Structure 1
Amino acid sequence: MSMLQAALAAWALAWAGMTALAFAMERHYQQLTGNMTQPRLHRYVLRTAGALLLAACLLVCLVGWGTSVGVVAWLGWLSLGAFTSTLLVGIWPRRAM
């Protein structure tokens, strides 16, 4: 895996994971769907998907950069993914999904 592939995959996984965790919250779920209440199953699925996507991001970082640098790179990609997710969920919630 090249550095560019690892970087793009890590950013995409971090963004998707943070967006899933954001939509697991009732406020953002309401922005997305228009429903006033969020079913427990949807909340559970979104939280689980978000956690699995962030774990996959960690795996990509460990494979791409090794153990010591991979953990630090993962934290950086989490920050960038959260920043991207925050911008898009706040401005265009339907496009962010």
Structure 2
Amino acid sequence: MNPWFASLLALALSFAGMAALAFAKERHYEQLTGTHELPPALAVQLRCLGFALTPFAALPCVWAWGSAVGCVAWLGFLSAGALASAAAISAAPRQAARAAFALGLAAVIALAWAGLR
């Protein structure tokens, strides 16, 4: 896999995963929807989605750079995704949620396409 493509996939998956984990908290959910209470079922779904997307960000890193360097790159992309999602959520939560959904979906599709090739 091309290292640039792997970097984009890892960053998109990290951003989407960290945004899902953030929106699973009541404070950020309130910023997003204006409702004070987060439904427990939705909180569980968002946490599961976040915990599923963040490890998948390691796959393109390991494919592009091998296991040793890929794990270190994955940690860097997790940090960058967390920083980007925190900045986006504090600036514009609804646009951050739309971007996280679009980037996460596109990255999962691209990762599945790259894995099937």
- TM class by smaller structure: over 0.9
The worse-fitting range, judged by mean Cα deviation, of 81-90 and 56-65 is 56-65
For residues 40-96 of structure 1, the C-alpha deviation after alignment (integer angstroms, 9 at most, x for no partner) is: 111001000001110110122111211000110001001100110010001100000
1:52-67 mapped onto 2 (5 Å cutoff): 52-67=52-67
Structure 1 residue 2 and structure 2 residue 17: aligned? no
TM-score (norm 2): 0.81
1:11-90 mapped onto 2 (5 Å cutoff): 11-90=11-90
Please give the secondary structure, in 1, of the residue aligned with 2:36: coil
Could you tell me which residue of structure 1 aligns to residue 110 of structure 2?
Answer: none
Could you tell me which residue of structure 1 aligns to residue 91 of structure 2?
Answer: 91
- Cα RMSD of the aligned pairs, angstroms, is 0.6
Gaps of 5+ in 1: none
For this pair of structures, how many residues does the alignment match? 97
Using the TM superposition, give the Cα deviation of residue 15 of structure 1 relative to its aligned residue in structure 2, in angstroms. Answer: 0.4
**Which aligned runs of 4 or more in structure 1 are off by greater than 4 angstroms?**
none
